[in-house]
Amino acid sequence: MRMKRPKIGNSIRRAFTLIELILVMALLTVLTSLVTPSISRFLAGRALDSEARQLLSLTHAARSRAAADGFPMLLWVDSTRRAYGLQEEGKNQNGNAQDADPKAEEFSFGDNVQVEAVNASPMLVNGQSLPAIRFLPEGVVDEDSPPALRLTGRDGETLWLVQPTNGLNYEIRNSDK
């Protein structure tokens, strides 16, 4: 049995017209302009949450290291340099190599986040007077440490790292209460 071939001249071709393509592109443009602000707010909120979680993790590390090493640890905040870090109290990170804390850590804040220690008594850290949370070898936070750290995003959203009543560590909250 022989198969018939379709005739080339009789085949019907379906395609999009130029008008249909322009309408689809216009629709995509409108949808993109509506969704973009929501996505940017979402990403800014994620940056604030991520920074708060990193600071919280650093408080846990400071508490553990103070207990393990037997020396007080300082979690310092330098708002002007947009940095924070963790080091053993009395060790100067920029000083003599024998005096430096080899486990010291320093981090930078994201561009969308500001961090401020609330009611903080400054401590001497790396030759500067900076607000710092002091973790004692007994596993508690020093009573002179700030009760809270305020993290503020570019859009004004605020998260708090607050010391609970047990005085052992800090936790993330939406308010300072």
Would you tell me how many other CB atoms lie within 10 Å of the CB of residue 132? 28
Structural domain contains residue 19: no
pLDDT digits (tens, 9 = 90+) for 23-69: 999 999 998 888 887 776 666 557 788 888 999 999 999 999 999 98
The reported pLDDT for the residue numbered 22 is 92
Instruction: Assign 9 a pLDDT band (cuts: 50, 70, 90).
Output: low
> Does 7 have pLDDT greater than 60?
no
> Three-state DSSP class for 33?
helix
* Alpha-carbon torsion angle 20, 23, 27, 30, nearest 10: 160
Structural domain contains residue 149: yes
CATH number where 95 lies: 3.55.40.10
The reported pLDDT for the residue numbered 48 is 82
Least confident of 15-29, 53-67, 152-166: 152-166
Instruction: Assign 5 a pLDDT band (cuts: 50, 70, 90).
Output: low
Structural domain contains residue 139: yes
Query: Cα–chain-centroid distance for residue 61?
Result: 16
> Residue 170 and residue 149: Cα distance in Å, rounded?
9
The residue whose two tokens read 């640890």 is: 73
The reported pLDDT for the residue numbered 64 is 92
Cα–Cα distances (Å) from 165 to 12, 61, 94, 140, in that order, read: 78, 20, 35, 11
Backbone angles phi, psi at 161, to 5 degrees: -105, 110
Q: What range does the domain containing 96 cover?
A: 48-173
What's the pTM? 0.69
Structural domain contains residue 83: yes
pLDDT averaged over every residue in the chain: 81
The reported pLDDT for the residue numbered 124 is 83
Q: How many distinct structural domains can be found in the chain?
A: 1
Structural domain contains residue 162: yes
Q: What DSSP character marks residue 168?
A: S
> Residue 130 and residue 47: Cα distance in Å, rounded?
24
Residues 6+ away with beta carbon under 8 Å from 177: 162
Neighbouring-strand partners of residue 84: 77, 107
Q: What DSSP character marks residue 135?
A: E
Structural domain contains residue 15: no
